C-alpha cells in the first residue's frame, strides 16, 4: 500500500497525524500503553494483565493485507508523542476484520477514535474487507459512541461479558454526511484564530517604509484592528511608534495569529518559534517556496510538516495576506483597505485580489473577508468555503482558482453551500499555456476546461471567465436579494436590446414572465400608446427617468414576476444618472412596500408560520433592521438581509437565527 500518512483535523481544531507504526516505535508504543489509566487499559484489553514487548510487536509494520494499524501522534518539544492506536486484523471470513482502538486519557473526547475509524475503514476497504467486527465491554460507552457517531449502520449482539458490534464499512450517504459534518465542525474551529484573532504578531515588521512587513503592520494599525498588534523585528526597532520585540518569545501574552514576512530562508526558523510559543494560525507572506522549483518545494513541505506537528493551520506561503471585516483586521500589504461588506473572497493570486480591490471602490463592493491563499500548502478554498458557510457576515462567496487540491470534495461541499449562499468562481489555467503559467505562479496543478465546467455545473457554482464578469456578478448578488423563482420581467427603452436580453434569459434557463392584465392596464396608463406592453416592455427611445420611475414599480408588484431586468440606452435628452436614480428609488420603494406587507403579516391575521418554534423571527428581523443605526456598521448589511427575507418568507439558518437574536438582545428589544 506504500507509506500511509494522514493528517486529520480534530473536533477542537487541532491537527492529528495518523501513520503506520514502525519497528522504531516499539518503545514509544509500549510507553503509550503503560501510560493508559487502569480503566482505559481494561476497556481496550479486557482481561489482559499487562502489555509486553511481544504484544506491541503485532501492531508494528502492518502488511495492509492481513493487518492494518495506525498511530495518532502529536508534536512534542523533543519529537512526537503517540496518543492513540487503532488496528484491524482480517478474520477467517476474509471479508471481515476485527477492529480495536485505544486513546490516551487526556486526548479522549476530541474525536480521535472516530477519525481513526474513518481512516482504518478506508484502508481496509482497499484490501477487500467489507465489514468490521468489534468486541466491546457493555460499560465502554465511549467506544460504543464512536461506532454510533461514525455514521455506519452497526448492529449489536451480546456475547457473554461483551457486546459484539458489526457494521459494513462501504461508504453510504449517511456515513458521508457524518464525515462531512465532522469535517465542517473541525475546519471551522481550526480557522477561528484567522478570522477572530485576539492578537496578531507581524514577524519581519520593519520600520523601513516600503518594506512588505512594515507596510503590512501599518495597514493593521490604519485599519483600526480591535485586538493587540505586535511588530517583531531582530533589532526591536519601533514601527510607527509602536514598541517592537526582538523575537516572538518576548511578546507579552498569547498570540493567536502570526504573519511572517521574511526572506524564504528564514521562514522556517520564525514559524518554528511561533508554533512553539503556542501560535495556532500562521500566515506566510514570503515567496520562494514550491513555485520556484524543487528546493522551494522541499522548504514548503518542511513548513507544512512543522505546522501539522504543532496542530497549527497555515495560509500561504507566497500570498498577499488576510483581511477580515468583523475585527477590522487588514493583515495585507495592499495599498488600500478592503471595504466592509458581505462578500467573502478567496484568491490564489494576490494580484487579482488587488485588482478586485481597485474595482470595489468604484462598484460599491464590500468584503466580509479576503484571503489570499497563495500556494495553499494547507488552508485551501475548500476550508474557507466550510468556514463561510456558517458565517453570518457572509452572503456571497467569490473564488479565484488556479487548481483544485480535492475536486471531489470541492464539488460535494460547493453543492451543499450553494443552496444557501451563491458561490461565484473564476478558474484560470484551463489551457496548456495557462496551466504552465499557473504552475510557475503558485505551484498549481490545473485541470481541463471541460472538467472544470462540468464540476462547477454539478456543484451549482456560477462560473465567470473575466475579472469584469466576476465583479458584475458579485455586485448583483451582494446588492440584490435572490429571486424567489425564474420568472423575469424586462424593462427597456430599446426594442432590439430587449430581444437580446430575452434570448439571454432563455439561454440561462430563465422564463419571461406573463404579465397580469392588471399590470398591462396600469402600464398603458403610464406609458405612450406606442409602447409595447408585452414582456419585454419597450417604453421606446423617448422614455425618460420619469417613465422608468412609473413603470418599474408596476412590474415589481406583479405577482407573476420574480425579478426585473432594467435596460437603458442613452438618449439625447435623458441623463443616465437620472435614470439610475429613478431605478434605485423604485427598488427602495418596492422594498418599503414589501417590508410593510411583512409587518402586516407579522402583526396581522397571517403570522409567519414555522415548524420549529421560530415564528417570531420576522418581528425580530424587522425590529433589528429599523434600529440598525444603533449597531456597529459591520452589522448593518446583515440586518438588511434578514429584513429582506421577511418579504420573501425565507427563514434564516440556525446560525443566522442565533446571530439575529444576539443583535436583538444587544438593542434591548422585546417581542410584544
What is the CB-side half-sphere exposure of residue 452 using CA atoms within 13 A? Answer: 23
- Judge whether residue 593 has pLDDT over 50: yes
pLDDT score, position 612: 45
- 5-171: which CATH architecture? 3-Layer(aba) Sandwich (3.40)
Judged against a pLDDT cut of 50, whether residue 617 lies above it is answered with yes
pLDDT of residue 591: 56
Output 442 or 368, whichever has higher pLDDT.
368
pTM score above 0.85: no
Contact 196, 326 (CB under 8 A): yes
Question: What would the mean pLDDT of 418-424 be, rounded to a whole number?
Answer: 92
Using a pLDDT cut of 90, give the percent of the chain over it.
60
End-to-end CA distance of the chain: 65
- Does the N-terminal peptide bond of residue 317 adopt cis geometry, omega within 30 degrees of 0? yes
Whether residue 649 is predicted with pLDDT greater than 80 in this model: the reply is: no
pLDDT at 634: 63
Q: Which fold has domain 191-479?
A: Rossmann fold (3.40.50)
The mean per-residue pLDDT over the stretch 294-300 comes to: 96
Place of cell 468490521: 132
Q: What percent of the chain has pLDDT over 70?
A: 90
CA atoms within 13 A of residue 623's CA, in its CB half-sphere: 20
Q: Which residue has the cell 478558474?
A: 427
CA atoms within 13 A on the CB side of 504: 11
- Region 51-67: mean pLDDT is 92
Q: How far apart are CA 325 and CA 360, in angstroms?
A: 15
Mean pLDDT of the chain: 87
Domains 5-171 and 487-600 share a fold: no
Q: How confident is the model at residue 82 (pLDDT cuts 50, 70, 90)?
A: very high
pLDDT at position 603 is: 52
Predicted confidence band of residue 79 (pLDDT cuts 50, 70, 90): confident
pLDDT of residue 590: 63
563 CB burial (10 A radius; 0-12, 13-18, 19+): buried
Count of all residues that appear for the chain in the document: 672
Interval 360-383: pLDDT, tens: 878 889 999 999 999 999 999 999
Q: Compute the average pLDDT of residues 639-664.
A: 71
* pLDDT (average), residues 345-359: 90
CA-based R_g, the chain, Å? 29
* Mean pLDDT of the region 205-227: 96
Task: Find the mean pLDDT for residues 338-359.
Answer: 91
The pLDDT confidence band at residue 650, using thresholds 50, 70 and 90, is low
pLDDT above 70 for 439? no
C-alpha to C-alpha distance for 464 and 468, rounded to whole angstroms: 9
Q: What is the mean pLDDT of residues 309-332?
A: 95
pLDDT of residue 624: 83
- 87-102 burial string, b = 16+ CB within 10 Å, else e? bbbbeeeeebbebbbb
What pLDDT digit, counting tens, does each position of 110-152 carry?
A: 899 999 999 999 999 999 999 999 999 888 888 888 888 888 8
Instruction: Label residue 519 by pLDDT band (50, 70, 90).
Output: very high
Which CATH class, in words, describes the domain spanning 487-600?
A: alpha beta
Can you give the residue ranges of every domain in the chain? Answer: 5-171, 191-479, 487-600, 607-666
Q: How far is C-alpha 555 from the geometric centre of its chain's CA atoms? A: 37
Q: If DSSP codes are grouped into helix, strand and coil, which group holds residue 532?
A: strand
pLDDT value of residue 447: 56
Amino acid at each position: 500500500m506504500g507509506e500511509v500518512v494522514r493528517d486529520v483535523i480534530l473536533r477542537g481544531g487541532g491537527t492529528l497525524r495518523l501513520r503506520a507504526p514502525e519497528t522504531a516505535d516499539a518503545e514509544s508504543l509500549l510507553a503509550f500503553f503503560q501510560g493508559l489509566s487502569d480503566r482505559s487499559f481494561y476497556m481496550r484489553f479486557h482481561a489482559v494483565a499487562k502489555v509486553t514487548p511481544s504484544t506491541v510487536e503485532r501492531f508494528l509494520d502492518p502488511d495492509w493485507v492481513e493487518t492494518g494499524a495506525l498511530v495518532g501522534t502529536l508534536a512534542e518539544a523533543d519529537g512526537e508523542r503517540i496518543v492513540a492506536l487503532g488496528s484491524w486484523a482480517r478474520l477467517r471470513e476474509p471479508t471481515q476484520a476485527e477492529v480495536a482502538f485505544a486513546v490516551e486519557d487526556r486526548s479522549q473526547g476530541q474525536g480521535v477514535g472516530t477519525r481513526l475509524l474513518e481512516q482504518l475503514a478506508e484502508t481496509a476497504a482497499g484490501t477487500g474487507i467489507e465489514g468490521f467486527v468489534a468486541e466491546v465491554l457493555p460499560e465502554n460507552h465511549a467506544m460504543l459512541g464512536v461506532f454510533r457517531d461514525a455514521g455506519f449502520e452497526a448492529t449489536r449482539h451480546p456475547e457473554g461479558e461483551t457486546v459484539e458490534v458489526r457494521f459494513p464499512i462501504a461508504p453510504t450517504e449517511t456515513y458521508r454526511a457524518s464525515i462531512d459534518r465532522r469535517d465542517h465542525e473541525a475546519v471551522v474551529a481550526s480557522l477561528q484564530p484567522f478570522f477572530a484573532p485576539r492578537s496578531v504578531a507581524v514577524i519581519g515588521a520593519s520600520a523601513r517604509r516600503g518594506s512588505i512587513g512594515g507596510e503590512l503592520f501599518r495597514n493593521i494599525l490604519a485599519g483600526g484592528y480591535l485586538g493587540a498588534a505586535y511588530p517583531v523585528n531582530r533589532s526591536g526597532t519601533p514601527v510607527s511608534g509602536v514598541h517592537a520585540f526582538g523575537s516572538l518569545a518576548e511578546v507579552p501574552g498569547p498570540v493567536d495569529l502570526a504573519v511572517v514576512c521574511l526572506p524564504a530562508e528564514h521562514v522556517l526558523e520564525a514559524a518554528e518559534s511561533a508554533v512553539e510559543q503556542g501560535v495556532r494560525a500562521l500566515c506566510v507572506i514570503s515567496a520562494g517556496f514550491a513555485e520556484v522549483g524543487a528546493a522551494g518545494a522541499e522548504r514548503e513541505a518542511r513548513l507544512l510538516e512543522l505546522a501539522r506537528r504543532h496542530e497549527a493551520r497555515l495560509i500561504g506561503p507566497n500570498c498577499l495576506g488576510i483581511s477580515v471585516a468583523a475585527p477590522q483586521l487588514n493583515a495585507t500589504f495592499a495599498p488600500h483597505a478592503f471595504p466592509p461588506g458581505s462578500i467573502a473572497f478567496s484568491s490564489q493570486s494576490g494580484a487579482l485580489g488587488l485588482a478586485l480591490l481597485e474595482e470595489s471602490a468604484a462598484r460599491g463592493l464590500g468584503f466580509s473577508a479576503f484571503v489570499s491563499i497563495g500556494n495553499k500548502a494547507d488552508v485551501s478554498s475548500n476550508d474557507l468555503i466550510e468556514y463561510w458557510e456558517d458565517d453570518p457576515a457572509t452572503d456571497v462567496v467569490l473564488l479565484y482558482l488556479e487548481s483544485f487540491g480535492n475536486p471531489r470534495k470541492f464539488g460535494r461541499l460547493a453543492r451543499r453551500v450553494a443552496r444557501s449562499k451563491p458561490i461565484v468562481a473564476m478558474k484560470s489555467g484551463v489551457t496548456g499555456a495557462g496551466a504552465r503559467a499557473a504552475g510557475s505562479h503558485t505551484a498549481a496543478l490545473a485541470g481541463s476546461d471541460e472538467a472544470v465546467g462540468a464540476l462547477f455545473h454539478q456543484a451549482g457554482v456560477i462560473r465567470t471567465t473575466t475579472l469584469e464578469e466576476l465583479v458584475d456578478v458579485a455586485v448583483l448578488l451582494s446588492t440584490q436579494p435572490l429571486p424567489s423563482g425564474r420568472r423575469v420581467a424586462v424593462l427597456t427603452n430599446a426594442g432590439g436590446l430587449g430581444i437580446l436580453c430575452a434570448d439571454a434569459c432563455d439561454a440561462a434557463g430563465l422564463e419571461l414572465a406573463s404579465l397580469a392584465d392588471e399590470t398591462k392596464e396600469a402600464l398603458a396608463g403610464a406609458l405612450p400608446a406606442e409602447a409595447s406592453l408585452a414582456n419585454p416592455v419597450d417604453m421606446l427611445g423617448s422614455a425618460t427617468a420619469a417613465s422608468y420611475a412609473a413603470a418599474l414599480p408596476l412590474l415589481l408588484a406583479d405577482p407573476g414576476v420574480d425579478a426585473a431586468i432594467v435596460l437603458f440606452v442613452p438618449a439625447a435628452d435623458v441623463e443616465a444618472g437620472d435614470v439610475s436614480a429613478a431605478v434605485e428609488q423604485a427598488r427602495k420603494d418596492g422594498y418599503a412596500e414589501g417590508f410593510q406587507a411583512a409587518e402586516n403579516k407579522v402583526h396581522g391575521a397571517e403570522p409567519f408560520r414555522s415548524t420549529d418554534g421560530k415564528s417570531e423571527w420576522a418581528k425580530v428581523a424587522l425590529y433589528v433592521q429599523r434600529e440598525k443605526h444603533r449597531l456597529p456598521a459591520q452589522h448593518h448589511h446583515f440586518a438588511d438581509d434578514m429584513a429582506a427575507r421577511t418579504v420573501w418568507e425565507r427563514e434564516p439558518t440556525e446560525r443566522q437565527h442565533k446571530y439575529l437574536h444576539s443583535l436583538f438582545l444587544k438593542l434591548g428589544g422585546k417581542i410584544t
